[in-house]
């Protein structure tokens, strides 16, 4: 099947279960509502007052009947809740091997970035049978990333990251919508997701004309914004050592511990005073207003690359790493990120 032919209907790894669950809920709720309506109408006819002065009478309690009409719906609905909760956790927890793709929403377009540096607007190319994790933020108002055929929808908020993942199962072209009213041209904030056979995706990636991987762009910004002047890659500096940071717990001056995820790193760049690492001074200036969301994403990719997530295969990219960084490692996800292609700008 070709990836440029418009497809509809469920087409992701979770959509089958979601379909099944949705129709089970519709069926159960319809049957319950119908059952109640039928008994109601029947009782109105059967037990209505027939004479002006008729008195009601007390009916004998029917224990088995009362227990069963309480217990059966209770277990049926708790069962639906439990299954719904399971599906919720499935969609909230991306698999470790998911391709990280970054999404920035703005009035009125979607900007998408692949780890290799390929950028797209209102289009997203993905391989089939491979999980894809979207990390999303907005440059202005609230948007919502919605691909009906994949049964995914997630709000995209300014000033923080939200994420969702999916795994396309059928090649084709699928509708992408903004599902949150975001201004005059909200209805035009639409696009396409192209699900491709893996070899077609690889071909697409290499035609992508990327200026360099996100990590290498991040490395450039790391020097351009003079981060490197203080964040030396040794533990003796005045600023925290960023090697091997990503995904690790960080102890703060308040005694709390947070995990260094995308949201934490973004906050540390834009609002460094919010969380001070234990043992360090509050000396970092804020980069709010000076750095774009895309540059923040590049920097995060760079920090990820110098500190591999433990569950990702490590590999070094000899020759491409500036000497001053010592033994950096790149992350090798699908669509490998290696820190190459850009020489650091020294200032």
Angle at 44 between CA 39 and CA 45, to 5 degrees: 100
- Decide if residue 23 touches ligand CUA (CB under 6 A): no
Instruction: Please report how close the Cβ of residue 143 comes to ligand CUA at its closest, in angstroms.
Output: 3
CB under 6 A: which stretch of 174-182, 200-208, 298-306, 309-317 binds ligand CUA? 174-182
In the bound complex, what is the minimum distance in angstroms from residue 189's beta carbon to ligand CUA?
Answer: 4
Any contact of residue 114 with ligand CUA (CB under 6 A)?
no
Instruction: Take residue 91 and report the two structure tokens written for it.
Output: 């969609």
- Separation of alpha carbons 17 and 131, rounded Å: 16
Q: Of the ranges 26-34, 161-169, 182-190, 311-319, which one interacts with ligand CUA (CB under 6 A)?
A: 182-190
Does residue 121 belong to the site contacting ligand CUA (CB under 6 A)?
A: no
Compute CA 141 distance to the chain's CA centroid, rounded to the nearest angstrom: 18
* Under rule CB under 6 A, residue 186 binds ligand CUA: yes
Phi then psi dihedrals of residue 100, to 5 deg: -80, 120
Count of residues binding ligand CUA (CB under 6 A)? 9
- Which of 120, 167, 180, 293 touches ligand CUA by CB under 6 A? 180
Residue 154 is a binding residue for ligand CUA (CB under 6 A): no
In the complex, the smallest distance separating the C-beta of residue 142 from ligand CUA, rounded to whole angstroms, is: 8
Taking the complex as a whole, the smallest distance from the CB of residue 188 to ligand CUA amounts, in Å, to: 9
Q: Which of 182, 210, 227, 269 binds ligand CUA (CB under 6 A)?
A: 182
Looking at residues 134 to 153 of the shown chain, list those that interact with ligand CUA (rule: CB under 6 A): 143
The answer to whether 119 touches 50, Cβ cutoff 8 Å, is no
Nearer to ligand CUA, 27 or 187 (CB): 187
Minimal distance in Å, beta carbon 146 to ligand CUA?
A: 9
Quote the least distance from Cβ 291 to ligand CUA, whole Å: 23
- Is the Cβ of residue 182 or residue 306 nearer to ligand CUA in the bound state? 182
Main-chain dihedrals φ then ψ at residue 209, nearest 5 degrees = 60, 45
SS3 of residue 61 by DSSP: coil
Among 88, 111, 112, smallest CA distance to 100 is for: 112
Q: How far apart are CA 167 and CA 170, in angstroms?
A: 10
Residues near 333 by beta carbon (within 8 Å), at least 6 away in sequence: 97, 99, 100, 115, 312
Q: Is 176 in the site for ligand CUA (CB under 6 A)?
A: no
Please name the residues in contact with 178: beta carbons below 8 A apart, sequence gap of 6 or more. Answer: 105, 108, 110, 143, 144, 145, 146, 186, 189, 190
Give the range of 45-53, 56-64, 86-94, 175-183 binding ligand CUA by CB under 6 A. Answer: 175-183
Among the listed ranges 38-46, 86-94, 176-184, 332-340, the one in contact with ligand CUA (CB under 6 A) is: 176-184
Site for ligand CUA in 41-100 (CB under 6 A): none
Q: Is the dihedral of CA 137, 138, 144, 145 positive or negative?
A: negative
Residue 330 Cα distances to 108, 117, 170, 290, 340, angstroms: 34, 15, 31, 27, 9
User: By CB under 6 A, which span of 59-67, 75-83, 173-181, 205-213 interacts with ligand CUA?
Assistant: 173-181
For residues 260 and 2, give the distance between their C-alpha atoms in angstroms, rounded to a whole number: 40
167 touching ligand CUA, by CB under 6 A: no
Q: Do 175 and 146 touch, CB atoms closer than 8 A?
A: no
Interacting residues toward ligand CUA by CB under 6 A: 105, 108, 143, 178, 180-182, 186, 189
């Amino acid at each position: 099947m070709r990836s440029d032919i418009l497809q509809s209907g469920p087409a992701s790894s979770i959509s089958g279960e979601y379909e099944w669950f949705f129709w089970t809920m519709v069926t159960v709720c319809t049957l319950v509502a119908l059952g109640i309506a039928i008994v109601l109408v029947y009782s109105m006819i059967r037990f209505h007052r027939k004479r002006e002065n008729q008195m009601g009478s007390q009916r004998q309690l029917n224990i088995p009947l009362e227990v069963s009409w309480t217990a059966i719906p209770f277990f049926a609905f708790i069962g639906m809740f439990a299954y719904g909760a399971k599906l919720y956790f499935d969609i909230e927890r991306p698999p470790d091997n998911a391709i990280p793709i970054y999404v920035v929403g703005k009035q009125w377009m979607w900007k998408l970035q692949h780890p290799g540096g390929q950028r797209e607007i209102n289009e997203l190319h993905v391989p089939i049978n491979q999980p894809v994790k979207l990390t999303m933020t907005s440059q202005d108002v609230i948007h919502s990333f919605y691909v009906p055929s994949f049964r995914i929808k997630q709000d995209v908020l300014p000033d923080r990251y939200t994420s969702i993942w999916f795994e396309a199962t059928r090649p084709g072209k699928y509708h992408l919508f903004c599902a949150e009213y975001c201004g005059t041209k909200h209805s035009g904030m639409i696009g396409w997701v192209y699900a491709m056979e893996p070899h077609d995706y690889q071909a697409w990636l290499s035609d992508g004309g990327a200026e360099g991987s996100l990590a290498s762009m991040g490395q450039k910004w790391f020097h351009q914004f003079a981060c490197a002047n203080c964040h030396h890659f040794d533990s003796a500096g005045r600023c925290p050592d960023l090697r091997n940071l990503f995904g690790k717990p960080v102890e703060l001056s308040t005694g709390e511990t947070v995990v260094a995820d995308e949201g934490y790193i973004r906050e540390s760049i834009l609002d460094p005073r919010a969380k001070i690492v234990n043992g360090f001074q509050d000396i970092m200036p804020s980069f709010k207003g000076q750095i774009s969301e895309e540059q923040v994403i590049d920097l995060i990719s760079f920090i990820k690359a110098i500190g591999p997530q433990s569950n990702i295969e490590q590999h070094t990219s000899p020759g491409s790493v500036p000497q001053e960084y010592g033994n950096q490692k790149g992350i090798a996800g699908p669509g490998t990120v290696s820190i190459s292609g850009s020489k650091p700008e020294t200032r």
